[in-house]
Amino acid sequence: YQKLKKFPKNFLWGAASAAYQIEGAWNEDGKGPSIWDTFSKIPGKTYHGTNGDVAVDHYHRYKEDVELMAKMGLKAYRFSIAWSRIIPDGDGEINQLGIKFYDDLINDLLAHDIEPVITLYHWDIPQALQDKYGGWESRSVIDAFRKYCQAVFNAYGSKVKYWVTFNEQNIFTAMGYRWASHPPNVTDIKRMYAANHIINLANAMVINLFHELVPNGMIGPSFGYGPTYPITANPNDVLAADNADDFNNNWWLDVYCRGTYPALVMNHLKALGVAPEVSAADEKLLKSAKPDFLGINYYHGGTFQQNQIEHPDTDQHEKNFSKTDPYLMQPRSAQAQAPETTMFNNVQNPYLNKTQWGWEIDPVGFRIALRRVYEKYQLPIMVTENGLGAQDKLESDNVVNDQYRIDYLQEHITEMQRAMTDGVELLGYCAWSFTDLLSWLNGYKKRYGFVYINRDDDDQKDLRRIPKKSFYWYRDFINKNS
């Protein structure tokens, strides 16, 4: 009944990546180790012991990768900077070779009319800061982060307009401090909430710094958002879905966009003795920072029912959580506390199919997500990730027939277009990912790219780049829609 709005001519049709997942060259040209360089080498932590030492060798092959982006007609490319390439020990001398690498990459992108979108932090804090201060659990790291950000704003602020502060703070803190399936390998929920608060302060600090140094740019965090659904119309299930929304989404988004923590969660955490300490000065800082846009990474949402278990034990929680948790392949710790278990119970959604990794496929949820976030916070949205992880097969004659990825992307983009028609203000869409890359815990078995990389978990092979069927589809799609 309503004609779909056309995407604007300047819509940023893009694709995304992250430093640790693509660059390799983990100790070259002065780069220091990050916590991922260390963590991935702990036996049993990643699939087949894969790590980012070589990854897909983007550090040495970025020119070839940019060529392919240009061939595809990409309008934007989102990538992250490895902090420990810029400041190898986290807060000491600036490494000019690190500055040069990203400068060359940015210049190459701009020469091909591709808008760079830079993520400042995609999970790889320098190991030195972890050792020296305890990483994100220490306020000293905020100053170190300021120094690093200042260096890159000064170096690239005149040519790069779009910046992302933190990628999926909700995911990396849960995996790192609650489940010990990411670094720093901790299972302590109080520490998780404490680290989160410090990262929120760092986020606010860097937004303010950016507005001082790069007045014409735009900056915002990228959040891993999932809409919450009640399993039935029973008001108790609706309440459970609302609780989950507060714990899983609003706990972060309210701070980013309004500078305050949602009272429901804060009160609950206080009662459990795991709330972060928030000073009056902290409150002031959080309130002072206003993002220019919100980055949304969308993979799927979650379905909830009231929890009938009055005093759930950890085992029960483990079962509940791992049923629909995005990181099904990851080890869980039995010791993790679960303060919210009494408030919602995560269940399967009977209406949705799943990927090979058990992630729900929910394109309509994408429309719901965009509408909910936009209506609530009234900030333009950039979709900074969305994509399908699958086991692709390289066939003879260099063919990768990933029609399933084309279907997935097409359906999600259509729902995004519907959300735009509904009134959501959108800046762009970055599919995850441009080339295949190292899936943090799932190695190269789980692939996302438009471009196949000829390597697997145990053999680096020749790292050849091979455009998949989806590459040509996205090229034609962009061409038609811009």
User: Which tokens belong to 156?
Assistant: 């690239």
Neighbouring residues of 153: CB distance < 8 A, sequence distance ≥ 6: 209, 210, 213, 214
Residue nearer to ligand BG6 on the CB measure, 249 or 442: 442
3-state DSSP of 234-273 = CHHHHHHHHHHHHHHHHHHHHHHHHCCCCHHHHHHHHHHC
Binding flag, residue 383, ligand BG6 (CB under 6 A)? no
Q: Across-strand partners of 13?
A: 429
Three-state DSSP class for 210? helix
Question: What DSSP designation does 276 have?
Answer: P
In the list 169, 307, 442, 470, the residue contacting ligand BG6 (rule: CB under 6 A) is 442
Residue numbers 460-479 binding ligand BG6 by CB under 6 A: none
Contact status: 187 vs ligand BG6 (CB under 6 A): no
Q: How far apart are CA 474 and CA 13, in angstroms?
A: 9
Find out whether the peptide bond into 433 is cis, omega within 30 degrees of 0: yes
Phi, psi of 405 (to 5 degrees): -70, -40
Q: Which of residues 283-322 bind ligand BG6 (CB under 6 A)?
A: 297
Rounded distance between C-alpha atoms, residue 352 and residue 339, angstroms: 28
The only residue of 34, 84, 165, 167 in contact with ligand BG6, by rule CB under 6 A:
167
Q: How far is the CB of 73 from ligand BG6 (least distance, A)?
A: 24
Catalytic residue among 137, 168, 360, 415: 168
Give the other-Cβ count within 10 Å of 380's Cβ: 17
Q: Are 319 and 216 in contact (CB under 8 A)?
A: no
Report if residue 171 touches ligand BG6, rule: CB under 6 A.
Answer: yes
Stretch that binds ligand BG6, among 180-188, 279-287, 411-419, 440-448 (CB under 6 A): 440-448
* CA distances from residue 124 to 128, 141, 178, 448 in whole angstroms, order as listed: 11, 13, 17, 20
User: Counting contacts by CB under 6 A, is residue 443 touching ligand BG6?
Assistant: no
Which of 446, 447, 465, 468 binds ligand BG6 (CB under 6 A)? It is 446
Which residue in 224, 226, 227, 449 binds ligand BG6 (CB under 6 A)?
A: 224
Rounded to a whole number of angstroms, the minimum distance from the CB of residue 389 to ligand BG6 is 4
- The Cα 229–Cα 224 span in angstroms is 16
Q: Residue 241 and residue 246: Cα distance in Å, rounded?
A: 9
Ramachandran assignment for 49, one of left (phi > 0), alpha (psi -120 to 50 degrees), beta (any other): left
> How far apart (Å, rounded) are the C-alpha atoms in residues 79 and 160?
12
- The span from the CA of 205 to the CA of 353, in Å, is 41
Q: How many residues sit in the footprint of ligand BG6 (CB under 6 A)? A: 13
- The minimum distance between CB 138 and ligand BG6, in angstroms, equals 24
Residue 37 in contact with ligand BG6, rule: CB under 6 A: no
Q: For residue 102, what is the enclosing H or E element?
A: helix 96-111
Site stretch for ligand BG6 (CB under 6 A), options 167-175, 178-186, 230-238, 262-270: 167-175
| Cβ distance to ligand BG6 smaller for residue 194 or 441 | 441
Candidates 137, 237, 245, 385: give the one binding ligand BG6 (CB under 6 A): 385
14 part of the interface to ligand BG6, by CB under 6 A: no
Residue holding tokens 């430093």? 19
Q: Does 439 bind ligand BG6 (CB under 6 A)?
A: yes
Q: Which is nearer to ligand BG6, 183 or 339 (CB)?
A: 183
Which tokens hold the place of 426? 């959108």
Shortest CB 438 distance to ligand BG6, Å: 8
One of 90, 221, 295, 389 touching ligand BG6 (CB under 6 A):
389
* Stretch 199-218 residues interacting with ligand BG6 (CB under 6 A): none
- Residue 385 annotated as catalytic: yes
- Which residue has the closest beta carbon to ligand BG6? 439
Contact residues toward ligand BG6 (CB under 6 A) are: 18, 167-168, 171, 224, 297, 385, 389, 432, 439-440, 442, 446
Catalytic residue numbers, as ranges: 168, 385
